Structure 1
């Protein structure tokens, strides 16, 4: 009955001496895992703080008091997480490492309790049997079984487990909807089915249905460069991890499907490198969290893909004996997906991101033009996070324009966010560009918003242009609106010290700061500062740098029309370098068409940078 599982285990399990070495590891990941399982086994307490948990909860609640359909904190996501049963994998891994029977005993207790609860009919479908949660639970049952010695299960127990998994498969297939083709829900549900089929089911028709459905989902949900359409780094990984596990099973079982899943995974895993910084902390863009994904990247790496391997021991714990070798990987310092609307610069000392793409699913925020920036380990600005999925003021506020690192049009028809999953309107992305010249990166994003009651005839057109100097370690931001509407920049800064803000930001506008809260992880709040910059006269110039620096601003008049300003010169100096920018808001289409500053320097173009005595025209 479990023959394929036995074959898999014989090829997957690590040697005992290596498992003992892992058990003695001081890895924070492993310490957290044992903290969770010991709380569950010894105290009947459950909480969710795993890096891949979609909805974390750090408060500990009684498992038996609330299973399988009650929530102790008013958040239905808590009970959804309980029903996904990710802790079964933790329990199985804990037994795998320590051989302590208490972990296996608790695993059986939970699984057979759930089976009994649903033996006669599906129990609590609204809490326990959403198609998403059923698929995740099914894969967690399969995955956890690969770590447990099958000799510990009687024939009766094996039969009960397999029949219960078959119930999951039938339920998912009959409840999957067409809309799930374009949803992380669909991938998480159907990948659970196929993981079961690989080990337990010989039905060709079911196998073909699951595989073909997953391939349709992959083709719909990823861009050519590998970005997931829902615009959330966390959900990008949730989907990728499902395909990665199917690839892993196929490889261990010698199934030809491994080649199919490898092709699906190459670009999404490569793209995922740019969705976290050099410390492997996830980009909290839209509905996502700031969380350490070291083990996830290590897992991808050991499976043979282009990813880093900062946590070898934890990675191999999940990849197994056949995938225990490191390999060389090389990445460009920048990533640009025009279709997905994401531009990233990532190196050992700089992490920058710009988003201006289609809204994606309801996990998207009002984040067009939003940026993040880290230099030398200092977080200049961060995304607001999501905090919760319940209907409340913080949920709406964190999704709104006013909590994004972007620019707002004064008197624009804000807010666009109506509630946790609804919108009054959605801004229209028009374009995003990224160019690289030596140490300079140029970015441009354009989008439009309604000025009144979502009328298409009355819209504001916003343009954000930026130059990142990776040598001088500074960023220049230029924001303007086509019709000259007044603008306001917002930045969420993860510090409580306003002096840090005023020493790092220079602007031609008026700066105001206020204390705010933002969220690094679901169900947690953090203290920070919001910087607001207003300028009634468009455009706004803002320069950001870490070390002490100086900025000189010069208005450049038109030579043949005295009194008419045609451009602006910004000269920025840091200890590490110098950057000069010449900017003209529009083409000079008659008369003298060049700019000439007070030093006699002549330039042509709308955006020209001068660096190391060389001029570079970006526009």
Structure 2
């Protein structure tokens, strides 16, 4: 750090004066009270806990949140009261200290800033890389650098922090930045850790550039960040680790850093902003109608509108505002300041064009009936495993009729190695997947590893107006066995789904299929199927070709460290060489049931119908009066005539066909030839 006093305490007080004006304004406080009274209350509650050395990690994007507060007499920075080392990591990231800064601006009580100084000084005094390695993992260092910087630019103009205290803290920040540079590893180039490290470095260097001895740090960090983003963000914009939670963490740290660059007039490589836009764009589609991210892989049930708001303002893009709040959200206000209230109000919302989106590189598909909160929504996945945060979820799907989550991914719950629920939540049986002979297609190994993995094959999709089709395939090939599983997923808007699974495995086998329901979904057997209900919405499910069906008690974890009881529908059937399973699901606003019939189809010139393993035809009549015929051909017809005959008079050719009855006759929708 430079010893030149022109770049000391007084210099930065003046440099950050704009942030003081952005926050210390009675009009802004009134705006928050009118719009975010409950969130203000939560910030003050957390700040008051911290005054008493009580820690609870419950902010929206805390990576490993907790629900039980813990009190220290004297803070022990390497102690986990709940036995989970993630608690230590959360404690050392210092993101929660922002609530002390917020509490000051809401009350003008200096005790909150004094406590901030006390905790930071205590941490510096007690922690060195050699004395507490858990506080010096490079991911924690990067997050801490960003946290301290955002706090300091709001604290320094208050003239509460003493000059010697500031210099002591800035010296530690510079030390932490050097630590990241000296300890970055090859694996960090492909991990969210790396981006959280590098954005932390850039944030410190740009905010305190005048005091950084090695000015080349900014060039180094910028170059590394560009490489990391190019490696980690796929061409379709999805973060390769296949976890929406860490996708957002990468986006959030990048947005914060870009804001600092803009504020202090640094021009960075355009790739950084382009990748941030790509990450935010994915979030438009991967967010369910209730504004929450799906719990894919290691992810929680978290509202994404604050991230959309921050994306809209930092990237100046109206399409993100359209998926956020009408007014600037609470957390974005505290990141950017009060002047952005007007900027956000004046930003014009832009409606998204596509209802259905295929992210081909990652194998993620998002379908919806419209963009309202009452829209029906479906998600389908068949892609790369990602990293240790990925789950064994090939061919998994979610279904949400009329804005309510019914069939879901149940979450992550914990990272604790010894907890059996960690490996369960990662396993295929914890997803809406297909299991052959009770052997997981991907075998988990502890909290982060795998013994073996199935191979995702090429996907196919066709979206035609109100009818969508996705086909995913995976292969299991090892020393013990070889088989291929194909899932055919048809969505007819607004609320009809047909899911067909085809398993090719030699010999006598049995297949198990799992359907996981959200914690507040009720289910009962009715007729040949089941009725799921929630908030006056029903989802009828009719399983075809199942020899055994039962409901088992299960779990859902909407938030790390929290678990709830739920139900899972399991159905099995035996097969030799080729197995066929079909589900038909229909969502309704009343308890109105569809009718489903399995019909015969013929190869032209043949008197015997196709076997179920060759082809499936379904007649579906909805209570609305709509009638559909779904035809799925499972095997290639290469001997004899190629035409297929349905109902003795309708001939066609192709693999997937939907026929819709109308007043003007049948409408043919060919989804796959």
TM (normalized to structure 2)? 0.87
| Matched residue SS, 2:598 | strand
- DSSP 3-state at the match of 1:186: helix
Deviations 1:538-597 (A, max 9, x none): 211101112222212113233433335153211223345443211111122232222222
Question: Given the alignment of the two structures, is residue 270 of structure 1 paired with residue 281 of structure 2, yes or no?
Answer: yes
Q: In the alignment, which residue of structure 2 is the partner of 1:209?
A: 220
> What is the alpha-carbon distance in structure 2 between the residues aligned to residue 5 and residue 262 of structure 1?
29
Please state if 1:470 is matched with 2:486. no
- Number of the residue aligned with 2:630: 581
Q: Structure 1 residue 511: deviation in Å?
A: 2.2
| 1:520 partner SS | coil
Distance in 1, matches of 2:38 and 2:633, equals: 52
Q: Provide the rounded CA distance (Å) in 2 between the counterparts of 1:5 and 1:139.
A: 18
Within the candidate set 482, 497, 500, 2:504 is matched to: 482
The one of 404, 408, 420 equivalent to 2:435 is: 408
For 1:295, which of 306, 325, 336 is the aligned residue? 306
Q: Residue 567 of structure 2: SS of its match in structure 1? A: strand
* 1:77 CA drift (Å): 0.3
What do residues 507-556 of structure 1 show as CA deviations (whole Å, max 9, x unaligned)? 11242111111211100001111111222242111011122222121132
- 2:557 is the alignment partner of 1:519: yes
Give 1:599 shift.
5.6
Q: Which residue of 1 aligns with 2:522?
A: 497
- Give 2:187's aligned residue: 179
Q: Which residue is equivalent to 1:328?
A: 349
Q: Which consecutive segments of 4 or more residues in structure 1 shift more than 6 A?
A: none
Give the structure 2 partner of residue 370 of structure 1.
Answer: 396
The aligned counterpart of 1:507 is 543
Partner Cα distance (2:131, 2:517) in 1: 43
**What does 1:189-588 correspond to in 2, within 5 Å?**
189-201=197-209, 202=212, 203-257=214-268, 259-303=270-314, 304-305=316-317, 306-307=319-320, 308-310=323-325, 312-314=328-330, 315-321=332-338, 323=340, 324-325=343-344, 326-331=347-352, 332-346=354-368, 347-348=371-372, 349-391=375-417, 392-410=419-437, 412=439, 416-450=443-477, 454-455=478-479, 458-471=481-494, 473-483=495-505, 486-494=510-518, 495=520, 497-499=522-524, 502-503=530-531, 504-508=540-544, 509=546, 510-537=548-575, 538-547=579-588, 548-565=593-610, 566-576=614-624, 577-588=626-637
Whether contact under 8 Å (2:366, 2:380) holds in the other structure is yes
1:102-124: CA deviation from partner (whole Å, max 9, x where unpaired): 22121111111112213xx4354
Contact kept, 8 Å, 2:146 with 2:199, in 1: the verdict is: yes
Runs of at least 5 residues in structure 2 that lack an aligned partner in the other structure? 1-7, 532-539
Residues 359 and 161 from structure 1, CA distance in 2 versus in 1: closer, same or farther, beyond 3 angstroms?
same
Local SS of the residue matching 2:394: coil
The alpha-carbon deviation at position 156 of structure 1 amounts to: 0.7
Shift of 1:231: 0.4
1:434 to 1:19, Cα distance in 2 relative to 1, 3 A: farther
CA positional deviation for 1:320: 2.6
The residue number in structure 2 matching 1:112 is 121
In structure 2, the CA distance between the partners of 1:551 and 1:71, relative to structure 1 (3 Å rule), is: same
Q: Which residue of 1 aligns with 2:108?
A: 99
* 2:79 equivalent in structure 1: 70
SS for the counterpart of 1:423 is strand
* Contact kept? 1:571, 1:581, Cα under 8 Å: yes
Query: Hey, what's the Cα distance between the residues in 2 that align with 1:104 and 1:520?
Result: 34
Shift in Å, 1:601: 2.1
CA distance in structure 1 between the partners assigned to 2:97 and 2:241 by the alignment: 28
SS at match of 1:187: helix
Q: Write the distance in 2 (CA, Å) between the matches of 1:160 and 1:39.
A: 26
Number of the residue aligned with 1:22 = 32
Report the equivalent of 1:130.
Answer: 137
Q: Relative to structure 1, is the Cα distance of residues 328 and 586 closer, same or farther in structure 2, using a 3 angstrom cutoff?
A: same
Displacement of 1:430 in angstroms is 0.5
Query: Cα–Cα, structure 1 residues 344 and 330, in superposed 2: closer, same or farther, change >3 Å?
Result: same
| Distance in structure 1 (CA, Å) of the matches to 2:446 and 2:13 | 46
Say if 1:313 and 1:385 are closer, same or farther in 2 by CA, change over 3 A. closer
Query: How large is the RMSD of aligned CA atoms in angstroms?
Result: 2.1
Using the size of structure 1 for normalisation, the TM-score is 0.94
Contact 1:69 1:79 in 2 (8 A): yes
Q: Extract unaligned runs of 5+ from structure 1.
A: none
The 8 Å contact of residues 409 and 460 in structure 1, kept in 2 or not, is answered as no
| Deviation (angstroms), 1:9 | 4.5
State the secondary structure of the residue aligned to 2:452. coil
More displaced stretch, 179-188 vs 103-112: 103-112
SS of match in other structure, 1:88: helix
- Judged with a 3 Å threshold, the aligned counterparts in structure 2 of structure 1 residues 294 and 6 are, in CA distance, closer, same or farther, namely farther
Residue by residue over 1:381-408, the C-alpha shift from the partner in whole angstroms, topping out at 9 and shown as x without a partner, is 1112111100211001111111111122
